[in-house]
Amino acid sequence: MQKCISIIFILLLAFQANQALADPGAEITQNIQFGRYVIRNDNAGAALQVAYDGNVISDNAFIPVNSTAKNGIIKMSGFTPGESLLLTITFLPDPLTLTCSCSSPDFQISNFQVETTSVTADISGEAFIRFGARLVAQGGAYGDVSYSGALTVRIIVNS
C-alpha cells in the first residue's frame, strides 16, 4: 500500500554582521520545500535532493504527487550597494530529524548546500543566499501524515 507524505520544517535565522549596518536584517523569502510524494516501497531507503538552484534529483522510490519542490532563499539587507560580502553559513542541526505525531519512522535532512559564500549587495543593499538539502527516508511503514522539524541557519557576514 502506498502512502502520501508531506515534509514541512521551520527555518530559524541567526544573523550576525561583523560590521555596523544601517538597518541589518535577514529574512526567509522562500522556505525550502521538498514537495508531496508517495514512497514506492516503505521498507527500502530513499533519497531526494533539492539543489540550491531548485533542481530536484531523486531515486525512483519517491513518486511525486505534486511538483512543489523549491530551493530555500534568504534575503539579507542593510548593506552598501555593490559591497562584497564573505559569508560563513551553518545549518543546525545537521542532520535535521523530521518527526510526526505518530509511530512512523523519521526522515532526515542533511547535506545542506549554498550556491556561494561570496555575494555582492545589489543596488538596494540586499544580498541573497540560495540553498538546498537532501531528504532521506530510512525505510519502514511511514504514516499518511505530515513530518516537521526546526532548523537554525546561522549566517556570519564579513566584508
- Cβ–Cβ < 8 Å for 69, 56: yes
Print the domain residue range for 24: 4-158
Q: How far apart are CA 124 and CA 25, in angstroms?
A: 13
Do 137 and 45 form a contact (C-beta atoms < 8 A)? yes
CB 75 within 8 A of CB 126: yes
* 115 in Cβ contact with 131 (< 8 Å): yes
What is the CATH number for 28?
Answer: 2.60.40
pLDDT at 154: 84
Task: Give tens-digit pLDDT for 108-131.
Answer: 999 999 999 999 999 999 999 999
- Total tally of structural domains belonging to the chain: 1
Residue 12 identity (one-letter amino acid): L
d(CA 67, CA 54): 11
Q: For each of the chain's 159 residues, which pLDDT tens digit applies?
A: 444 444 545 555 555 555 544 456 788 888 888 887 777 877 778 888 999 999 988 888 888 887 778 899 999 998 899 999 999 888 889 999 888 888 877 889 999 999 999 999 999 999 999 999 999 888 777 777 777 888 888 888 876
